[in-house]
Structure 1
Amino acid sequence: MTWTEAECVEYLESERGAYAWVMQHHGGLTAAEAEEAAMERYPYDPEDASNRGLIFHDTSWHWAMLAIHGQDYVVEHPELIHPSPGYEALLKRQDGGDAP
């Protein structure tokens, strides 16, 4: 699937928002710290970047859990393998209510 530039930027911004939400609500960061962390985790890659969009192979929930709890979070915190209801509600709102 080939995305337009606008679609790519829109998705990047939604993932940043979701990551920041997790970092604030589950990681204890302030809103400003969470937004800064999201910008660092999800930088803008130019259209011709060879790795553009590679970060999207996993969800913002997963990347945030790695940042908060480390590589072994799935073993040490198996309850966090699945996103929280709050995160799922956020995604649904971001998607206009049409998220599965």
Structure 2
Amino acid sequence: MTDSGWSQEEYCRYLNAERRAYAWTLSELGGFTADTARSAAVEQYPYLGAADPYRGLVFHHESWHWAMLRLHGDRYWEREPGLLHPPSAYEAAWEAGLAEDPATAILTA
């Protein structure tokens, strides 16, 4: 484990999962093109080195929440209660990202 509490592999797997699910949400629910959604995901979830004290902080909320904020603004869950929880397709996208080679998280940084 690093000082931040994340092993390199664990951090990179989560980074891939969050990026994939964030991009899925922007493209499927926000109308973004796949390329634009992937670029936005890398921007939202930049790779941070093991020595960075904020490594992993972005994971304190799942990518669904960050994407909903981007698409619908603050307090989206009050205006649209159905958006509080992600659909199963989002969960599938997240799981697919978790299964990706962790080295790809660094390559797309």
- TM-score, normalised to structure 1, is 0.86
Unaligned runs of 5+ in 1: none
Alignment match, 1:61: 64
% same residue: 46
- TM-score, normalised to structure 2, is 0.79
Over 3 Å counting, the alpha-carbon distance change for 1:19 and 1:65 in structure 2 is same
CA apart distance, 1:90: 2.6
- Which 10-residue stretch deviates more, 32-41 or 82-91? 82-91
Matches within 5 A, 1:18-97: 18-94=21-97
Structure 1 stretches of 4+ with a deviation exceeding 2 A read 88-96
Unaligned runs of 5+ in 2: 100-109
Higher relative contact order (CA 8 A, sep 6+): 2
Over 3 Å counting, the alpha-carbon distance change for 1:45 and 1:92 in structure 2 is closer
Alignment match, 1:17: 20
